[in-house]
Amino acid sequence: MKKVSSKGIEDRKRFIKKIKRVVIKIGTNVLTSVGHRLDTSLMEHLGQQICWLIEGGKQVIIVTSGAIGAGMQILGWKKRPSKIEKLQAAASVGQSRLMRFYERIFREEGYNVGQVLLTRDIFESNERKANALATLETLLSYKIIPIINENDAVASEEIKFGDNDQLSAMVVELIKADALILLSDVDGFYDADPKNCSRSKLISEVYRITNSHLTIAKNASMSELGSGGMVSKLLAIKRVLEIGCMGFIANGKRPWVLRDIFLGKNIGTIFLPEKKNGLEK
Ligand code: GLU
């Protein structure tokens, strides 16, 4: 069951039309299938939808996870290591595999991709932030698809983002995007943890993230491979709502998820900023 209101559906369509620049974060659980293997047919399907968006005049920036998961699969590691240097090694191996797939997928559609690996300290220096911004703007101006991940191979505790949800919110701020789409393996935000409560309902639209939303999220379980959970998603979206952007949580494994979001179909959860936002102007 889904909680929907007609105001919500109207708002959804109205806001979606205004999106020009969008950051799409693809989580590890979306990109990997059984045995942490990269799901290339799903990546192709998402890639085709991203090209459809670009052809429709949108600018798309991808934030990808999956490097550690892919590295673990290549190295035959069944359990996520806890030692930072082993995680860094897995990320180093997995990141190049990940990019090889993205590059192939987008090249077939006629697009080049540009890998951008970031660490938190970049956002703490105006000069480095300006450099990162200039790179991203230049890539977009040439219709090259920026593919961002945390630079896991060198990210020590002090310079880590924590997870790619926070990284993607910071990228939204940096490049002044209109929307952040978090693709995960859940259908959206529920009013109770769907894994433990069979009567939980998917909430179609949220206008403001409150403490009660965060409490519900805290009770939802954490994913095994990715490092973010529902709390981290809500915090990332809260951050972009505060600067007048909209947010989405949707299931990246759902066929045509991106196309359907942009056609205004009632899928996932949309988070709409309150009145004083840039999109409203
Ligand atoms: N940067 C990590 C990776 O590529 C993922 C972090 C996250 O799951 O949020 O594996």
pLDDT at 281 over 60: no
Report helix angle 40-55 to 84-108, nearest 10.
60
CATH number reported for the structural domain that contains residue 67 in this entry: 3.40.1160.10
Q: How many domains does the chain have?
A: 1
Closest ligand 1 atom, residue 98 Cα: 4
The single-letter code of the amino acid at 210 is T
Q: Report d(CA 122, CA 133) in Å as an integer.
A: 10
Q: Name the most confidently modeled range: 41-55, 184-198, 221-235.
A: 41-55
Residue (of 237, 259, 226) closest to 64 by Cα position: 226
* Residue 279, in any domain of the structure: no
* Residue 51, in any domain of the structure: yes
Q: For 146, phi and psi rounded to 5 degrees?
A: -70, 130
What pLDDT is recorded for position 196? 76
Pick from 141-150, 176-185, 191-200: least confident: 191-200
* Residue 55, in any domain of the structure: yes
* Residue 140, in any domain of the structure: yes
What is the CA 83 to chain-centroid distance, rounded? 25
233 and 184 in contact (C-beta within 8 Å)? yes
What pLDDT is recorded for position 4? 59
Residues with CB under 6 A from ligand 1: 28, 65-69, 91, 149-150, 152, 163-164, 226-228
Q: List beta partners, residue 205.
A: 270
Q: What DSSP string describes 26-88?
A: E-HHHHB-GGG-B-HHHHHHHHHHHHHHHHTT-EEEEEE--HHHHHHHHHT--S---SHHHHH
What pLDDT is recorded for position 10? 80
* Residue 21, in any domain of the structure: yes
Best residue for ligand 1 mutational test, from 164, 170, 182, 249 (most atoms within 8 Å of Cβ): 164
Best residue for ligand 1 mutational test, from 32, 101, 149, 233 (most atoms within 8 Å of Cβ): 149
| Tokens linked to 126 | 């105006």
* Residue 125, in any domain of the structure: yes
> Which residue range is the domain that position 263 belongs to?
6-271
| Tokens linked to 67 | 């490097």
Q: For 264, phi and psi rounded to 5 degrees?
A: 80, 15
Residue (of 272, 277, 218) closest to 10 by Cα position: 272
